[in-house]
A and B are shown apart, each in its own frame.
Chain A
Amino acid sequence: MTALLHASAVLATAREVVPARAQMASTLGFHIILACYGIAFPTIVLVAEYIGLKRSDEVAMTLARRWSQALGVLVAVGAVTGTVLSFEMGLLWPGLMRRYGPVIGLPFSVEGIFFFLEAIFTGIYLYGWRRLRGWAHFWSGIPVAVSGIFGAISVMAANSWMNQPGGFTLRAGRVVAVEPWAVFFNRAAIYEMPHMLLAAYMVAGFGVAAVYAVGFLRGRRDRYHRLGFAIPFVIAAALTPFQIFVGDTAARAIAADQPIKFAAMEYVTHTARGVPEYLGGVYSGGHVYVGVALPDLDSLLVGFSPHTKVIGLDSVAPVDRPPAPTLIHLSFNVMVGLAFLLLLAGLWALLVWRRHRALPAHRWFWWLAAACGPAALVAMECGWIVTEVGRQPWVVYKLLTTAQAATTNRGVIDSLSAVIVLYAVLGIATIAILRLLARHWRAGDEGESAVPYGPPSEHHSPLAGEGA
């Protein structure tokens, strides 16, 4: 009876799994941008406020106030798009929750605590600008930054568990025992957690800096713009080398722990020694076309020796390979390539700073810095494509397929269409609102008369008129 139900469920889900995956991908891909800002932007704002308080720096204070206004919009949108994901865990993947809810729920419940603290202290910090003065206000923001970090770690515990499931005992297809610590600190957690955390700081840091880099290119080069650029840029650029190290470590761990994902990432068609590293290229029917092959390099990167054996896609049946190796490989290439572009921007600024104690004056640097914002974002999205598409056909690696987890309900295509339209509007509206804020700031009007919302800024500040 159960077997029959199960079989019919699998048959019924086969048709809905593709739209369900597309919906999960689009909602996660959208939310993760806001999540990055939710995790890292508070730290950037607090650094500006710290400088402002410590040095009685009016410009830094103005930046902190304005940034927290933008943060308020991003956090609100992030809170609701995050809720969508929580519901989708059940609405799109009831098969996953039915079997593994008691396991994957644990890191999410811990995340709940941090989400609470983040939301509570965001309320205090954002709306406390007027009445909570000085350091009291600064300290009310510290829990926001700290809980953002621990919240991200908890969510990454859940995601890494899907890649390296452990810490539970199955009996007859049912979870009968759970070890919470082993679930939280699974084998993939050690590299996934820092990888995403650093990515969040890079996306937010390079993203905010890019806004001021564009302003610089348009001739707005006052101290307000230089500081607005420097604070987020320094944070993001300083973390970039660590991110490259963590990413490299992660790739090597994936080669060991999820060899088929790695094979798709690197176009390892056949298990062999002396495997080449492909740059670009298209994968079709076990062959790689167009790509540039660097001999032995992949083996060298995996095991520090050209003779290292790397497991290929041919080691498993086609149904157990991820779909679209081309998408996975190119995303991986783009992510790594962009990481080095970001590194270059940081090094450039560092060299100029060591010689001249100033930001680079060269126009090309500012074009590069402006490009770093979208580059960091695209790199992060590519990383998610690599890890999520690369894990297919599994939702819980080697234990539960995505098709088994998907909802049996029809009409996912309808919710997918609705989500795409809704999120397109939401994305455009968010950007429009942020641009509107910037326009108010530039005009020296903090937008206080029009609408009863957001932290107030001191419109009589002598420096506020310089605009963003």
Chain B
Amino acid sequence: MTAEVVGAILIAVLTLYAILAGADFGGGLWDLLAGGDRRGRAPRTLIDETITPVWEANHVWLIFALVVFWSAFPTAFAAVMTAAALPLWLAILGIVLRGAGFAFRKEVEGLHWERLLGAVFALSSLLTPFFMGTVVGAVAAGKVALDAQRTTLATWTSPTSLLIGGLFVAVCGYLAAVFLVGEAIRRDDDRHERYFRRRAALASAAAGALSLAALAELHHSNHQLYHGLTGRALALVLLAGACGLAVLALLALGRSRGLRPLSALGVAAVVWGWGVAQYPTLLPGTGLTLANGSAPHATLIALIVVFAAAVLLVGPSFLLLFWLHGRRLLESEHSSHDPERVGWR
């Protein structure tokens, strides 16, 4: 039972990472697609202000997920880290370039440097979700062998992996666009509200199509998981679909109430659906389960205690951060989104 609780904690941490950091990564996607210097300046400023004070805190969920993964399920962790080493290295490359590019581009002077570092930030924002998606795809498709000695292309370039890699990018773009719609509304910025509504709708359609394709592909690559997703986890899959459709409807109707929670709930439903469908298997295609692949009892208990402490300490702190950020208390005056000043009209 303790292993189940820790498994649920891992899924919960991954969900938070997917939603919070996913939106930050998606900001990079829209930064990349915002067009030239003049046209792209206003949306880029909005993206920048939205991400700046929170991305580091959101990023910590990844560190926490890694630690819980290796502490609680060490055999599975070592197997993934060996078999999927190459895409993981590429995902890290993305993390380093994105963080450094983001921090540096604001301090440099001269348009060409800003442009170069901005491009580094934006392009690397695609690398990380895509390659993390291929790793998740490798696990889901049962390509990670327990006794893997080498990382091979075949592990993470199966159709399932590539589809899930694409899905991760689309979901990041979707979350970011939905969050940015809210940010634009908070600033009474109609133009960017419409701007990100269109992009949110496009990204949600892409994410929906890619998830259906990935589901169909799982029918071949991991029938057991497919069976789980269309059986035990069907309610969650349907919830995810319903959330996606509801968000699309709200976007089309020009409504904004419930947009953010619905999009987050939809993504959470997908992550939990995966967890529930796969339960109790840790690594599909191997005999590794929660029962035989978990750390000793005391470690699991300690992880539960640490997670509880994290919820008590970190939870309110996050709420404070988001509350201050939401009230626009965490920004500098000069960077406030002022349409007159940046002159796009």
Across the interface, B71 reaches (CB within 8 A) one of A94, A105, A409, namely A105
A229 within 8 A of B: no
Across the interface, A409 reaches (CB within 8 A) one of B54, B72, B75, B85, namely B85
Check if A105 sits within 8 Å of B99, measured CB to CB. Answer: no
Check if B296 sits within 8 Å of A90, measured CB to CB. Answer: no
Check if A109 sits within 8 Å of B320, measured CB to CB. Answer: no
A324 within 8 A of B: no
Across the interface, B313 reaches (CB within 8 A) one of A113, A124, A422, A436, namely A113
**In the complex, how many angstroms separate the beta carbon of A233 from the nearest chain B beta carbon?**
26
Check if A409 sits within 8 Å of B57, measured CB to CB. Answer: no
Across the interface, B103 reaches (CB within 8 A) one of A76, A103, A110, A168, namely A76
For A129, the closest partner residue in chain B by CB is B332
A-side contacts of B52, CB under 8 Å: 127, 453
B189 within 8 A of A: no
A112 to B314 alpha-carbon distance, docked (Å)? 10
Across the interface, B104 reaches (CB within 8 A) one of A116, A126, A418, A433, namely A433
Across the interface, B89 reaches (CB within 8 A) one of A115, A122, A143, A415, namely A415
**In the complex, how many angstroms separate the beta carbon of A96 from the nearest chain B beta carbon?**
9
Check if B100 sits within 8 Å of A451, measured CB to CB. Answer: no
* A116-B317, A120-B321, A452-B45 known; A83 vs B85 contact (CB < 8 Å): no
**In the complex, how many angstroms separate the beta carbon of A254 from the nearest chain B beta carbon?**
28
**In the complex, how many angstroms separate the beta carbon of B46 from the nearest chain A beta carbon?**
10
* A113-B310, A433-B108 known; A80 vs B63 contact (CB < 8 Å): no
**Segment touching A, from B143-151, B160-168, B196-204, B226-234:** B143-151
Check if B49 sits within 8 Å of A89, measured CB to CB. Answer: no
**In the complex, how many angstroms separate the beta carbon of A9 from the nearest chain B beta carbon?**
7
A177 to B302 alpha-carbon distance, docked (Å)? 12
B209 within 8 A of A: no
* A112-B67, A120-B314 known; A102 vs B299 contact (CB < 8 Å): yes
Check if A109 sits within 8 Å of B64, measured CB to CB. Answer: yes
B-side contacts of A75, CB under 8 Å: 56
Check if A79 sits within 8 Å of B334, measured CB to CB. Answer: no
B235 within 8 A of A: no
Across the interface, B105 reaches (CB within 8 A) one of A123, A437, A451, namely A451
Chain A contributes a number of interface residues (CB within 8 A of B) equal to 83
**In the complex, how many angstroms separate the beta carbon of B192 from the nearest chain A beta carbon?**
15
**In the complex, how many angstroms separate the beta carbon of A51 from the nearest chain B beta carbon?**
23
- Cβ proximity bits A169-197 to B, threshold 8 Å, 1 near / 0 not: 00000011111100000000000000000
Check if B335 sits within 8 Å of A407, measured CB to CB. Answer: no
B62 within 8 A of A: yes
For A422, the closest partner residue in chain B by CB is B96
A-side contacts of B297, CB under 8 Å: 177
- 8 Å CB interface, A407-458 against B: 407-410, 415, 418, 422, 426, 429, 433, 436-437, 447-456
Check if B103 sits within 8 Å of A72, measured CB to CB. Answer: yes
Check if A127 sits within 8 Å of B96, measured CB to CB. Answer: no
Check if A436 sits within 8 Å of B78, measured CB to CB. Answer: no
**In the complex, how many angstroms separate the beta carbon of B76 from the nearest chain A beta carbon?**
10
Across the interface, A453 reaches (CB within 8 A) one of B92, B98, B106, B149, namely B106
B-side contacts of A436, CB under 8 Å: 107-109
* A76-B102, A126-B53, A455-B332 known; A426 vs B96 contact (CB < 8 Å): yes
A402 to B325 alpha-carbon distance, docked (Å)? 45
Check if B317 sits within 8 Å of A117, measured CB to CB. Answer: yes
Across the interface, B59 reaches (CB within 8 A) one of A9, A83, A91, namely A83
A178 to B294 alpha-carbon distance, docked (Å)? 13
- 8 Å CB interface, B80-119 against A: 80-82, 85, 88-89, 92-93, 95-96, 98-100, 102-109, 114
A178 to B45 alpha-carbon distance, docked (Å)? 50
A289 within 8 A of B: no
B-side contacts of A89, CB under 8 Å: 66, 70
Chain B contributes a number of interface residues (CB within 8 A of A) equal to 76
For B54, the closest partner residue in chain A by CB is A123
For B321, the closest partner residue in chain A by CB is A120
B-side contacts of A117, CB under 8 Å: 313-314, 317
Check if B334 sits within 8 Å of A95, measured CB to CB. Answer: no
A115 to B303 alpha-carbon distance, docked (Å)? 16
* A98-B74, A453-B335 known; A106 vs B330 contact (CB < 8 Å): no
A-side contacts of B324, CB under 8 Å: 124, 128, 132
* A12-B149, A76-B56, A409-B82 known; A450 vs B67 contact (CB < 8 Å): no
B-side contacts of A87, CB under 8 Å: 66, 81, 88, 92
A448 to B332 alpha-carbon distance, docked (Å)? 9
B154 within 8 A of A: no
A-side contacts of B60, CB under 8 Å: 112, 115-116, 119
A-side contacts of B45, CB under 8 Å: 452
A-side contacts of B102, CB under 8 Å: 76
A108 within 8 A of B: yes
Check if B310 sits within 8 Å of A112, measured CB to CB. Answer: yes
Check if A127 sits within 8 Å of B330, measured CB to CB. Answer: yes
A89 to B60 alpha-carbon distance, docked (Å)? 16
Check if B321 sits within 8 Å of A105, measured CB to CB. Answer: no
Across the interface, A124 reaches (CB within 8 A) one of B63, B81, B310, B321, namely B321
Check if A109 sits within 8 Å of B71, measured CB to CB. Answer: yes
Check if B330 sits within 8 Å of A449, measured CB to CB. Answer: no
B174 within 8 A of A: no
A-side contacts of B328, CB under 8 Å: 131
B48 within 8 A of A: yes
Selected A-B contacts with CB under 8 Å, 14 pairs: A73-B103, A81-B96, A82-B63, A83-B95, A84-B96, A98-B75, A102-B74, A106-B303, A123-B321, A128-B324, A131-B330, A175-B296, A452-B45, A453-B106
Residues of A within 8 A of B (CB): 5, 8-9, 12, 72-73, 75-77, 79-84, 86-87, 89-91, 94-95, 97-103, 105-106, 108-113, 115-117, 119-124, 126-132, 143, 168, 175-180, 407-410, 415, 418, 422, 426, 429, 433, 436-437, 447-456
Q: Please give me the 3 A-B residue pairs with the lowest Cβ-Cβ distance, nearest first.
A: A453-B106, A105-B71, A102-B295
